Amino acid sequence: MTADTVIVHPDADTLAAAVASRLITGILDAQSRRGVAHIALTGGRIGTATLAATLVSDPAYRAVDWGKVDFWWSDERFVPAGDADRNDAAAFRVMLDKLPVDPQRVEDTLRRDKSIVEVQVRIGKRPAMRAEQE
């Protein structure tokens, strides 16, 4: 087993740039091995800053075949389209709308399903009953 390493950056911008560089390297490695990469997107200040930094801090992003990247939402909220609490709007604004991504490869649960129960039904999972959720 290898030891974990903690890397501390001096500020949020440096952290976002460092994560963006590692993200690009990971995408390129995955595409060279499998032909496709899967990315789990997250929101929040650092998540959104990382997506924005992907386009400016590492010119290697131009080497990525963005048409062969699958994007998944890792922590999106089920709130109405246009709601300020949604993370997908920021991801599209700072990165996805600026790259030649294949829209069919951007997971669309947020647009298709209106509730977590609809997601559970669609994927074949038995929706939790109200008493189980509390």
**pLDDT tens, position by position, 59-76:** 899 999 999 999 988 766
> What size, in residues, is the chain?
134
Residue 2 within a domain: no
Residue 129: the pLDDT is 52
The string of pLDDT tens digits covering residues 72-123 is 887 666 666 667 777 788 888 899 999 999 988 888 665 555 566 666 666 6
Domain of residue 47 covers: 12-109
Q: What percentage of the chain has pLDDT greater than the value 90?
A: 46
Residue 130 within a domain: no
Residue 80 within a domain: yes
Residue 37: the pLDDT is 96
Residue 107: the pLDDT is 81
Transcribe 61-93 into DSSP letters. Answer: GGGS-GGGEEEEESS-----TT-TT-SHHHHHH
Total structural domains within the chain: 1
Residue 114 within a domain: no
CA distances from 134 to 120, 125, 128, 129, 131 (A): 17, 18, 10, 9, 6
> Which element (helix H / strand E) includes 13?
helix 12-34
More confident residue, 131 or 114: 114
Residue 74 within a domain: yes
Residue 27: the pLDDT is 96
Residue 125 within a domain: no
Long-range contacts of 22-25 (CB under 8 A, 24+ apart): 23/50, 23/54, 24/54, 24/58, 24/60, 24/61, 24/64, 25/60
The string of pLDDT tens digits covering residues 28-46 is 999 999 999 999 988 888 9
Domain of 103, CATH number, reads 3.40.50.1360
Residue 74: the pLDDT is 79
